[in-house]
Amino acid sequence: MTSRLTESVAVQPKVQRSVGLWTMLWNDKFAFVSFLFLVVMVFLAVFGPWLLEQPATKLNLRLRNAPPFSLDNGWLYFLGADALGRSMIARLIVASQNTLLVAASAVAVSLIIGGALGILAGYFNGRFSTVIMRFADIIMSFPSLLIAVVVLYIFEPKVANLVLVLSITRLPVYMRTARAEVLEIRERQFIAAAKTLGASHSRLITRHIAPLVVPTLTTIATLEFAFVMLAESSLSFLGIGIQPPEITWGLMVAQGRNYLQSAWWLSFFPGLMIMFSALALNLLSGWTRIALDPVQRWRLEITNQQAS
Amino acid sequence: MNKMKNIVGATLLALPLSLVFAEGKIVTVVLSEEPDVIDPCEASRSNIGRVVKQNIAETLIEIDPTDGSITPRLATEWEQVDELTWNFTLREGVMFHDGAEFNAETAVTAINRALNPTQDCEIRLKFFGNINVMPKAIDATTLEIKTDTPQPILPTLMGTMVIASPNTQAEKGTMNPVGTGPYQFVKWDAGQEIVLERFDGYWGDQPEAEGARFIWRTESAVRSAMVKTGEADIAPNIALQDATDENTDFSYFNSETSRLRIDMTQAPLDDLRIRKAMNYAIDRDALIGSLFSEDVVPMTQIVVPSINGHNTDLTPWPYDPAKAKELIAAAKADGVPVDNEIVVLGRIGMYPNATEVAEAMAAMLAEVGLNVKLSMIEVAEWIDIFTKPYAEDRGPVLQASQHDNNNGDAVFSVFFKYACEGPQSTMCDEEVDKGITAASAAVGDERREIWQQVFKRLHEEIVPDVQMFHMVGFSRVNPRINFTPSISTNSEVQIGQVTFK
Amino acid sequence: MRQFLARRIFHSLISLVGLLVLVFFLARLTGNPGDLYLPLDSSIETRQAFTEKHGYDDPAYIQFGRYVRDLLSGDMGESVRKKRPALEIVLEAIPVTLMLAASAMFLALVGAVIVGARAAYRPGGVFDRVASISSLVSASAPDFWIAITAIIVFSVHLQWLPTSGLGGPIYWIMPVCVLLIRPFGLLVQVVRSSMLTVLSAAYIKTARAKGVKEKSIVFVHALRNAMIPVITVAGDQAAAMANGAVIVETIFGWPGIGKLMIDSIVQRDFAVVQAAILVTAFVILSINIVVDLTYAVLDPRIRKRS
C-alpha cells in the first residue's frame, strides 16, 4: 500500500494538495498502522517504566519461564515470564524506554554530526574534505568492540555511554553518503546559477544543498535505527553492552538466547519488538518522505535534468 | 526450472554423506575455548589441562578427585626424609614420546623448566609462587625435592606438576608438547583443532581410543548440539539449560564454590548482625532447581566435601526473612548505617547464567529491607576490585565470586580468602590466622581437624560470605562411548578412560 | 587517475598512523594485562614482577616508543597469552574472515541488485511489496538469534547441515546465510529507493519514449546511475565485515579475525589487538579506495575532476 502511494507520486508527480494529511494517512493502511504502533510505543516508553517497574523487577521463581498465551497468572503474564519469573509484558514495556532512547539518540547524534561533516567535506572538496574523510576512515577501521570496551571499562555501562559508543561507530555512514551526494549535487546547473548570482557559502549549503541531502540521510537514518538496536544487542551478546538492572530489548534477546531450546519466548518477543519498531519506522518514513515533504516533491519535479 | 530442482535435490541428498561425524575409535572433545598454548607447564588452566594433563604429559602423583587422596602415577612411592626434604621413587621403563628416557635426571629438568622464572608458567605462578623448590637426582629412580619452607603436603602439590620431555625448549613456551602420556601430540591447526594419537610405547595399559580430536565452540547451545548430532563425543562443559537429556547429560561437582564476598571493612557490612541477616535473606531452596541445578549443595565453607579439611558438621543458613529483618532493625537501633547503598557486584559471564543469579541475589537482599544496587562488570575490572590493593573509597560491596579448589587440601583456599595477609581477604581475625599457620605445618588428622575448626569459626562467628552453593557442572557424552564425568573433568579429560560401546 | 590513486594511498597511510596511535593509547586505558593473565591467587609481588617484566609499568609514551621501534624493524610484538608473534596469529585468522565476508557480500550485493531493481521496476506490485517488507524484516533480525535457531533447526532436528566448524562447501551454508541476511535487507532497500529516483529522471523517460526496451532501461541505463549510494552502503558493510564477522565467527567456531579481536581485547592482549587492527585497517582502507574508484567509474563527472 505504501509502496503504491509512493510510486504513484514518483511516477506522476502530481500530489493532490486538497487531500488532508489524516486522510492520506488513513488511505495508506500500512503507514496508518505503523503510525499507531509508534504512538503507542512512545506512550509506553514514556509512562511504562513508571507504571510497571514493580512487576518488571520483582523476583518470582515460581513462575520461572512460564509459557506465553495463558491468562492463568493474570494478563501481565500473557506473554510468559522470564528466567526469574518476571512478567515479559512488563519487561518489554519497561525496556522500550531505554531501547528507544538509546536508538533514537545514537541515530540523531550520528545523523547530525556525520551529516554536517559529510556535507562540508563534499562542498569544500579540498584539503578539508581530505581531513574529514581520513577521519571517517579511522573510525571505520577502528573496531567498535574496542571503543565499547574502552568506554565501558573507563566509564560505566550506562545508557549515555552506550549512545556515545554507538553514535561514534556509525558516523562514517552519514559522512560518506552525505559527501558522495554533495559531490554530485554541486555539479548541477542550479547551484552554478546560484553561485553566479552571488550566493554565499552558508546560503548555498543551508538553502540549496542540505535540503537535497537530507532525504537520503533520513532514509539511511531510519534503516540505521534497526541497525543500532541490533548493534546494542550484539554488544550484550558479547558481554560488553548494557547490563542489568538496566534493560533493553537487545539485552533481553541476548540473555534469552541461552534458553532458545527450552523457553523460546524469552528472546523471541523482544526480537519481534525490534523488528516491528524498525518496520513501522521505515514504513512511516517512506510515507512521510513522499506525502509530507515539499522538498522531496520539489526535487522530484525540478531535478529531472539530473540523475542522482 | 526442472533442472534447477534436480540440482538442488541432488545437493540436499548429498549433504548428510559429507558431514564429519565422530566415527571410529577417535574421541572428539568440544571445549568452550581454544587453548591459548598447549605447553605442559600451563596445564593447570582448565582448557589446556583438558588437552594436555594425563593425556600427553603426566604428573608424578595423581590426586583422586573424589576424596583428595593421592595415588601413584609416574612416581610409585614417596616419603618425607626431614622437614624440608621428600624423596620420590620413580616408575621404571617409562619413555617420553620423543624417545627420551624418564628418570630422576629428566624429572629434574622438567621441574626446573616449569619453575623457570623467565617463563610465566601457570603451575609456578599458581602453586609454587612463594616456595623455593630444589629438585635433585639421587640415582636413576630416586628424586629428591628440597624446599626452603616445610611443605607437609608436597606430594599433593606435586599432583599439579606435569612432566614434559627434557628436550622441550627451556626458556620459551612450546607449541609441541611432549610427555610420557598415553597419547602423543600430532598437530594443532590454529583456530580449528588439536589432534592426538595413541602412543604405542606407553608404560601403562593401552587405552581403547586410537586418538583424540579437540575442537572448541563458544556457545553452550552449539557444543551440546554437536554431541547430539554426533559431531562430537564429549562436551565437558555445557550450561544448565542445555542439559536436557537424561541419557547423555551428566552432572558432577565441579569443585567450584559460589558466594558473595562481603567486604567486612565497610559499614554496614562490618556489623555481624547485618552479615547474618544477609545470609538469612537468601532463599536457597527456591534457587535450587531453578537458576541453579537440582544437584547443587548449599555451602557452609569455601571448600567442597572432597577437600581435606572440609567440616561436615556445619549446617547451611536457613531462609528466615523475619529473622533477617529483626537483625537489621537491631543493628539500626545501635546506630549502624543500614541504609547505606550496598553494591552487589557481579561478573559478566562468570558462569552461564551469572547475570540472572546476581539479579536474583540482589532482589532477595532488597526484600529484607537493605538498600541494594546491582552492578555487572567486566572481568578485568572485577579482578582489580577483587584483589589487593583495594581502593580507599570503595564503599560496601558484595562481590559475586566463584572459587575452584580441586587440589586436595584446604590450604589452597583459606589463606588467600581469609587470612589478614590474604590477597583477596577483607577480614583479619587473629584466631583464624593462627589456625592457618598451625594447619599449614601439620599433617594427617591433626591438619584436618585444625582446618575444620577454622571453617567452624568462619561459618558461625565471622560470616565473611553470603553463602551460596557448591556448584555442579554438566557434561554431555555421546551414547556411543562410556565416559563418566567427575569433579576432575573441570581440569582434565582423560581420553585413556574412554571405552566404546 | 594514477595521481588520484597515489594521493589516496598516501592519505590512507596517514589514517593508518593516526589509527595506530589512537589504538595504542586507548587500549592502555583498559587496565593491566597482568591482572587477567595471572592466577587470581598470585601475590602482589608476583603481580609486580610480571608487570615490570613486560614493561606495563612504564609510562604509555615510553611503551609507545618501544612499540614504534619494534614496528619499524618489522616486529609487531608477541602475544602474552599465546606466546607467539602477534602478526603470525593475525595472518592465520584473516583469510577465514575475508573469504567469509567476500562470499556473503558478493551474494548479498548480487541478490539485492536483482531483487531491488525488480521491485523498483513495477513499484507497488506484489513483488515490490513482498520484497520491501521482507527486506526490512531481514535487515532488522538479530543475527545471533537466527544463527542459534538455524543450528537447532537445520542441524539438530533436520540433520541437514553440520552445526559448525570449517570444512567443505556445506559448512559454509549457514555462516554465509546468517552473515548476508542483514546487508542483503539493507541493500535491497537502498537499491530500490535509488532506482526509483533514477527511473523518474528525464533521460529515462526519453529513452522510454525512444522505444528502448524496458528491460535494458532498467538493467543498463538506470542501474548504472543508481549504483553510487548502493556502493557507499555496500562498502560500509564490507568494511564492517572485514573488522570481523564476530557473531558468526563466535557461534560457528570459525577462527576469524573478529573472534580473535574480541578475545584479545577482553584479555588485554595488546600486541594482538594492535596487529589485528593494523591488518584489518589495511583491508578496510583498500575497500574505501576501491569504493572511491568505483564512484569515478560510475560517474564521469567525478572522474574528470579527480
Digit-by-digit pLDDT tens for chain A (308 residues) are 333 333 333 444 444 444 567 777 777 778 889 999 999 999 999 998 888 888 888 888 888 888 888 888 888 888 988 888 899 999 999 999 999 999 999 999 999 999 999 999 988 877 888 888 888 888 888 877 778 777 777 777 778 888 988 898 889 889 988 888 888 788 777 777 887 887 788 888 888 888 888 877 887 888 788 888 888 888 888 877 888 888 999 899 888 888 888 888 998 899 889 888 888 888 887 777 666 555 444 333 333 333 33
Return the pLDDT at A304. 35
CA–CA distance, C301 with A222 (Å, rounded to integer)? 30
Q: What is the dihedral of CA C259, C262, C265, C267, to 10 degrees?
A: -70
Domain count, chain C: 1
CA–CA distance, B160 with B183 (Å, rounded to integer)? 19
Q: Output the 3-class SS for B262-278.
A: ECCCCCCCCCHHHHHHH
Assess whether B163 and B197 both reside in one domain: no
CB atoms under 10 Å from CB of A130, counted, come to 15
Q: What is the CATH number of the domain that holds C137?
A: 1.10.3720.10
Note the pLDDT tens digit of each residue in B357-410: 999 999 999 999 999 999 988 888 888 899 888 988 889 999 999 998 877 788
Q: What φ, ψ does residue C49 adopt, rounded to 5°?
A: -60, -45
C174 in reach of chain B (CB within 8 A): no
**Whole-prediction pTM:** 0.85
Assess whether B154 and B276 both reside in one domain: no
pLDDT band at B328 (very low <50, low <70, confident <90, very high): very high
Assess whether B469 and B486 both reside in one domain: no
CA distances from B108 to A218, B147, B164 (A): 71, 14, 10
- What lies within 8 Å, CB to CB, of B85 at 6+ separation is B144, B145, B146, B147
Assess whether B142 and B83 both reside in one domain: yes
For residues B178-214, one letter each, b for 16 or more C-beta atoms within 10 angstroms of the residue's C-beta and e for the rest, the string is bbbbbbbbeebebbbbbbbbbbeebbeeebbbebbbb
In a domain, B51, yes or no: no
- Alpha helices for B342-443 (secondary structure H): 354-367, 379-386, 411-418, 430-441
CA distances from B16 to B4, B227, C170 (A): 20, 16, 9
Paired sense of beta strands B142-147 and B211-216, if any: unpaired
Most confident stretch, B97-101, C211-215, C232-236: B97-101
Assess whether B14 and B116 both reside in one domain: no
Nearest chain B Cα to A251, which residue? Answer: B355
**Which residues of chain A neighbour B400 with C-beta distances below 8 Å?**
none
Find out whether the peptide bond into B321 is cis, omega within 30 degrees of 0.
no
Half-sphere exposure of A176 (CA within 13 A, CB side): 28
Question: Contact at 8 Å (CB) between A245 and B359?
Answer: yes
CA–CA distance, A39 with A45 (Å, rounded to integer)? 10
In a domain, C275, yes or no: yes
Mean pLDDT, rounded, for B39-54: 90
Cell of A147: 571503543
Cell of B76: 610409585
Note the pLDDT tens digit of each residue in B179-216: 999 999 999 988 889 999 999 999 999 999 999 999 99
pLDDT band at B282 (very low <50, low <70, confident <90, very high): very high
Return the pLDDT at B153. 85
Dihedral of alpha carbons A303, A115, C236, C10, sign: positive
A·C CB contacts under 8 A: 200
Note the pLDDT tens digit of each residue in A188-241: 777 778 878 877 888 888 888 888 888 778 878 887 888 888 888 888 888 778
Q: What is the CATH number of the domain that holds B271?
A: 3.10.105.10
Mean pLDDT, rounded, for B135-154: 91
Assess whether B102 and B142 both reside in one domain: yes
CA–CA distance, C294 with C303 (Å, rounded to integer)? 10
Q: What is the CATH number of the domain that holds B77?
A: 3.90.76.10
What is the DSSP annotation of A223-257? Answer: HHHHHHHHHHHHHHHTT-S--TTS--HHHHHHHHG
DSSP helix/strand/coil, B135: strand
Return residues 9-28 of A near C (CB < 8 Å). 10-11, 13
Question: Contact at 8 Å (CB) between C27 and C270?
Answer: yes
Cell of B419: 587470612
C145 in reach of chain A (CB within 8 A): yes
User: Which range, of B179-188, B382-391, C31-40, C203-212, averages the lowest pLDDT?
Assistant: C203-212
Cell of B133: 623448590
Mean pLDDT, rounded, for B48-66: 90
Q: What is the residue range of B395's domain?
A: 255-473
Assess whether B144 and B98 both reside in one domain: yes
Taking CB atoms and an 8 Å limit, are C43 and B219 in contact across chains? no
B258: β partners: B402, B469
In a domain, C55, yes or no: no
Q: What is the residue range of C205's domain?
A: 86-305
CA distance A25 to chain C (A): 17
- What lies within 8 Å, CB to CB, of C302 at 6+ separation is A183, A184, C295, C296
Angle at A110 between CA A296 and CA A216, to 5 degrees: 20
B379 in reach of chain C (CB within 8 A): yes
User: Which range, of B70-84, C13-27, C32-46, averages the lowest pLDDT?
Assistant: C32-46
Taking CB atoms and an 8 Å limit, are B120 and C166 in contact across chains? no
Taking CB atoms and an 8 Å limit, are C139 and A226 in contact across chains? yes
Domain boundary among B168, B198, B230: B168
Helix (H) or strand (E) holding B344: strand B342-347
Q: What φ, ψ does residue B154 adopt, rounded to 5°?
A: -55, -40
Nearest by Cα to B164 from B145, B146, B184: B184
CA–CA distance, B22 with B29 (Å, rounded to integer)? 10
Return residues 250-289 of B near C (CB < 8 Å). none
Angle at B353 between CA B350 and CA B354, to 5 degrees: 40
CA–CA distance, A263 with A66 (Å, rounded to integer)? 8
Mean of the per-residue pLDDT values of chain B: 89
Taking CB atoms and an 8 Å limit, are A308 and C31 in contact across chains? no
CA–CA distance, C289 with C8 (Å, rounded to integer)? 7
CA–CA distance, B174 with C92 (Å, rounded to integer)? 18
Assess whether B327 and B218 both reside in one domain: no
Q: What is the ipTM of this complex?
A: 0.85
**Which residues of chain C neighbour B416 with C-beta distances below 8 Å?**
40-41
Q: Give A21-47+95-244+270-307's CATH code, choosing from 1.10.3720.10, 3.20.20.70, 3.40.190.10, 3.10.580.10.
A: 1.10.3720.10
DSSP helix/strand/coil, B410: coil
In a domain, C66, yes or no: no
Q: What φ, ψ does residue A3 adopt, rounded to 5°?
A: -60, -40
Q: What is the CATH number of the domain that holds B225?
A: 3.40.190.10
CA distance A52 to chain C (A): 26
Taking CB atoms and an 8 Å limit, are A239 and B348 in contact across chains? yes
CA distance C129 to chain A (A): 7
Return the pLDDT at C214. 66
CA–CA distance, B287 with B258 (Å, rounded to integer)? 13
Angle at A175 between CA A173 and CA A179, to 5 degrees: 120
Domain count, chain B: 3
pLDDT(B324) > 50: yes
Return the pLDDT at B21. 52
Assess whether B382 and B488 both reside in one domain: no
Assess whether B459 and B406 both reside in one domain: yes
DSSP helix/strand/coil, B326: helix
Q: Output the 3-class SS for A187-224.
A: CCHHHHHHHHCCCCHHHHHHHHHHHHHHHHHHHHHHHH
Give the domain ranges of chain A. 21-47+95-244+270-307
CA–CA distance, B196 with B183 (Å, rounded to integer)? 6
In a domain, B438, yes or no: yes
pLDDT band at C20 (very low <50, low <70, confident <90, very high): confident
- Pick from C129, C182, C200: CB nearest A300: C200
